[in-house]
Amino acid sequence: MASAGPAADAARNEVRAIIDDRGHAVDNARRAVARLDQAFATGALVRTPALDAMLGDLDVALEQDDDQKLGGKSAEAARFILRAISRELDNA
């Protein structure tokens, strides 16, 4: 069952705004994950199995070694996964 109420609506809107931000996809992805973690911790949103899988995939796309810059395929993967997360937020 999806979360309801002002806190859930605010969390969904904020995450979608981060996803749609004109910044770099990798930076936006990290910000979106941080906001989602906050929403899960406060109970504003509930984790769904689909969101867990998407967040796991996003973690892999965002992995980097020290001093490694992410771009190209990581950014493309992050954009793709973030769009899927945006669609799934209505179920969280």
Q: Pick the closest to residue 10 from 50, 45, 41, 34 (CA basis).
A: 45
Distance CA 62, CA 69 (A): 10
Residue 90 contacts residue 11 (beta carbons within 8 Å): no
Distance CA 31, CA 28 (A): 5
Residue 41 contacts residue 70 (beta carbons within 8 Å): no
Q: Pick the closest to residue 18 from 82, 89, 75, 73 (CA basis).
A: 82
Q: How confident is the model at residue 15 (pLDDT cuts 50, 70, 90)?
A: very high
Taking only the tens place, the pLDDT of each residue in 24-59 is 888 899 999 999 999 999 999 999 999 999 999 888
- Report yes or no on whether pTM surpasses 0.75: yes
Please tell me the predicted confidence (pLDDT) of residue 35: 96
